[in-house]
Copies of this chain bind each other. A is one copy, B any other.
Amino acid sequence: MQTVFHLIAADPQQQRTALTIAENLTDDNAVEIEDIAIVAQADGIEPLTAGGDGSDMVESLLEKGIAVKACSNTLELQDLAESELVDGVETVPSGGGELTRLQSEGYAYIRP
């Protein structure tokens, strides 16, 4: 099974909860998870920025093999360069496009 998490909430506490739910999924032995991805956009981009609030959790998730993807439209809108993101974060043309593509491949969608 495969799961994509949609990180879009602005509230830092809500963002941390979202990342914790992703992490907990890696520890759930009741389901066989092959791939986990996180797609972040709008205000949800903050934890993906180097030194940003929650970036410690994103680094830890990347180390566990979770794919973390930033929406390029958001980067442009917030005047953020790719070099300002946590090392290992990928970019995708649009968050909506990536979320559609992954679901069409069979990923379950979770929006914490």
Contacts and interface: CB of A to CB of B under 8 A. Distances in A.
Question: Chain A interface secondary structure, helix, strand, loop or mixed?
Answer: mixed
Interface in A67-112: 73, 92-101, 103-104, 106, 108-112
Interface residues of A, number: 38
Contacts of A101: 1, 30-31
A41 interface: yes
21 contacts: A1-B101, A1-B104, A3-B99, A3-B100, A6-B111, A21-B42, A21-B94, A24-B96, A25-B100, A28-B94, A28-B97, A30-B93, A30-B94, A31-B101, A33-B97, A96-B110, A103-B108, A103-B109, A104-B106, A109-B110, A111-B111
